[in-house]
Structures are given as C-alpha cells and as structure tokens.
Amino acid sequence: MLDLKVLRENTDLVRKALKDRSVDLNLEEVLNLDKQRKTKIQEIEKLKAKKNKITEEIAVFKREKKDIKDKIVEVSELNETIHKIDKDLQEIEKKFNELLLLIPNIPDKDIPIGKDSSNNIEVRRVGVPPKFSFKPLTHWDIGETLGILNFEKAVKMSSSRFSIYRGIGATLERALINFMLNTHIKNGYTEISLPYLVNSKSMQGSGQLPKFSEEIYKCKDDDLYLIPTAEVTLLNMHRDEVLEESKLPLYYVSYSACFRREAGSYGKEVRGLIRQHQFDKVELFKFTTPESSYSELESLVLSAEEILKKLNLHYRVVLLCTGDLGFASAKTYDIEVWMPGINAFKEISSCSNCLDFQSRRANIKFKRKGKLEFVHTLNGSGLAVGRTLAAILENYQVENGDVCIPEVLRPYMGGVEKIEWTKR
C-alpha cells in the first residue's frame, strides 16, 4: 500500500508510475474519494463538538433547574445527522480502500521503462552453456524416457499442469530442496516451516488480494487460501508487530509447495515443469531498515545465484522494466537459467525489494529513537525446485540417455552419480 502522504503530495509521481506500469486505474476517483473522506470527517468532528457543547449546557440547565427539552431534542437531531454522515463516510472509505489496494508500488527511479519482458535489461551472464555432440532433449522427454516424471497420470488424477516425480526423480527433487535449504542456512538464514493455507487478511497484506483473486485457489467454505508462494506466510508471520531495530535485518528461508491457478496463461508452456498449478519452491525473505533495503536486494540476488553456481548451471540476471515489474515490487531482478532442450533462458528466481509497500498493508514496524517506522521487505526464490530439476535434466544429459547428477547433490542422493535409462 502506498503512503497516503505520497498519494496526496506527490500525485504526479503516482500518476507517472501507473502510466509506466501500463496500469489502467482512475487515480482522480481515488483522490476525489480522499477529499470526500476528509470533508465528511471534518463535518462529523464539528457536529460532535457542537453536541458536546450542548451536553455541557444541559448539565448546567439541570443544576439551575431549567427546562432541557429543547436541548435534548437538539442532541437527538445531531445524533441522527452524525449517524447519517458516518454511514456515508463508511461507504466512501470502503470504496477508497478498495481502490487504494489496487494501486501498485512505485518503481525505483533506476527501473527501465517498458511494456513487457522485451524491455528488460540483461545485467550479467554467468558460466557457459554446455556443448553437445547431439541434439539435446527437453526435460519432459528425458523425464518420461527415464521413468522419473509422469505427466499423463497426474492429468488423470488432477488435471493438466500437474506432475508426478517417481523413484530417483523424487529423490532428486528432495535432494534439491535439502541442498538449497542447507546452503541458505549456512549463509545466515533461519529456516521456517509454515502453513500452506492462510486467511484473506494475510493475502491482502502480501498484495495477493484483491489484485490477484483470479490467480488464487480459495477454500469455498472457509476464509482460507492456498499460498501461491511462501512469501505470503513469511511476511504475515510478523503482521501487526513492532520488530526490534537491533534484530534487523531478519533473514528467513522456507520450503513450501506453491499453488497457482495460472488463469489467462493457457497455451503458454503447457508441457513440462515450467508452469504448474502446484510446484515446490525454496523462498528467501528479509525484513530490513529502509536505508539498507537496496543493498540487501543485491545480496539476496547473490544468495539465489549461489545455488546455480554450485550446480554449475549457466544463467543470466536481468533487471525488470516497469511493465514487467510485480505488483508489490519497486525493483526486481529475475535470474534465468539456460535450458538447452528448450533452447532458451527460463526464469528460475525473482528477487524483489518491496520497500514499505507490504509492511504498510500488513502493519509491520520497528522502533528507532522512540519513533515507529515501517520496515522494508524483500523476497526471492532460492530457487524454484521443479525448474531447477528441469534445468539439471537438460544440462546434464548425455548421448546414451543417462543424466549425470551434479557433484554437489551426490551426498544428498546416497552417492548416486547418474540416472541411467537402463535402470528405470
């Protein structure tokens, strides 16, 4: 949520942010509702002051044994007027807050302006793509041939965009999760295990609601939603709290399953593990002071990159443009891993600085020199597990159909060095 002071005093900045993000929102309506709010509040305050004065007069009249009937009628009429205006105020505030929650974060001044991913800027490339003496296969062909992935049975029991990991495929998935968690824990992150179902207030705090209501799985009979990312739960763990400045920054890491409806994405990457309704992810999250959040973003990206470096996977880091920026983010780097079977880079991590946007929605502050301030929040994938597994299958495949296991993962897999197609 934006600071109301920014909305009122720096309206042109907000208007430009909406334009740069290609967001179609009637800002004038928001500002008009804000003015109506203030007018109604002032009217109520004046009427209450008048009512208090008459109430004092009634007390004097009683002591002097004077007739108070007219005064009581006047108080009753004021109460009715106040009630009517207050009812109007509630309607105005409801509409105002609904629109306010739809305004995205203001992009950082260094963010390139653009409409979509074609306007993102490549920051760096790391490593080199593998060379093959044969045409590399896609991860879904490899997985199905080896018998470690099954999409057909997943469709039968669920629907499209689900998958089954089998045998050593399931072992590899578990190995990746443990490897990622252990790496981040060694780097100072505290592991957190949290619920997969959260209430609407938690979804609103993180910025999922009301903007992305169509993307979320909701339990019909309860105020509960399946999380699209552990970012939601890690943020709301401290909702409505005041954190100690001396304990900032807080670094958290959490493994979770993630659930997304992927509404509107039909026809996009329907095969394989890239775009699923249910997938696993290791999430990194930080609570920081305002002055340190941008440097913490850079270190967050490096934490995610470390996983890819240890796996010896070729990747690139890109800075997202305004049109590709997430709703709550002021600045985002995407990390994209090279997929030789697909012959393209694919996002495997997204690292964002949300400034105080989420903490305002979730009411998370810290105290400095006796004054309360909103913390800054950052989040990033460290990494998406299914996409990492897909990248390993495509980058570590060999001509005879086997897939080598990255050396760093072998201790997590009982010393297994390769997945052999003859042993499926």
pLDDT (tens digit, 0 to 9) for every residue of the chain, 424 residues total? 899 999 999 999 999 999 999 999 999 999 999 999 999 999 999 999 999 999 999 999 999 889 999 999 999 999 999 999 999 999 999 999 999 999 999 999 999 999 999 999 999 999 999 999 999 999 999 999 999 999 999 999 999 999 999 999 999 999 999 999 999 999 999 999 999 999 999 999 999 999 999 999 999 899 999 999 999 999 999 999 999 999 999 999 999 999 999 866 666 676 899 999 999 999 999 999 999 999 999 999 999 999 999 999 999 999 999 999 999 999 999 999 999 999 999 999 999 999 999 999 999 999 999 999 999 999 999 999 999 999 999 999 999 999 999 999 999 999 999 999 765 5
What CA–CA distance (Å, rounded) separates 127 from 71? 84
By the 8 A CB rule, do 51 and 44 touch?
no
Cα dihedral 130, 136, 138, 139 sign:
negative
Shortest CA distance to 273 belongs to which of 176, 352, 191, 178?
Answer: 176
In what helix (H) or strand (E) does residue 243 lie, and over which residues does it extend?
strand 242-244
- List of residues 6+ apart from 185 with CB closer than 8 A: 191, 253
Domain boundaries, the chain: 26-100, 117-423
Residue 406 DSSP one-character state:
P
Count of C-beta atoms within a 10 Å radius of residue 44: 17
- Output the six-digit token pair for 22: 């290609």
| Same fold for the pair 26-100 and 117-423 | no
CA 258-262-264 angle, to 5 degrees, is 165
What CA–CA distance (Å, rounded) separates 57 from 59? 5
By the 8 A CB rule, do 320 and 333 touch?
yes
Q: Which residues pair with 316 in a beta bridge?
A: 125, 336
Cα dihedral 193, 198, 204, 205 sign:
negative
By the 8 A CB rule, do 314 and 339 touch?
no
In what helix (H) or strand (E) does residue 129 lie, and over which residues does it extend?
none
Whether pTM > 0.85 for this model: the answer is yes
Annotated catalytic residues are: 260, 275, 347, 350, 387
What CA–CA distance (Å, rounded) separates 417 from 413? 9
What CA–CA distance (Å, rounded) separates 176 from 393? 13
Q: Which CATH superfamily is domain 26-100 in?
A: Serine-tRNA synthetase, tRNA binding domain (1.10.287.40)
Domain 117-423 has CATH 3.40.50.140: no
- Output the six-digit token pair for 216: 């979320």
The reply to whether omega before 210 is within 30° of 0 (cis) is: yes
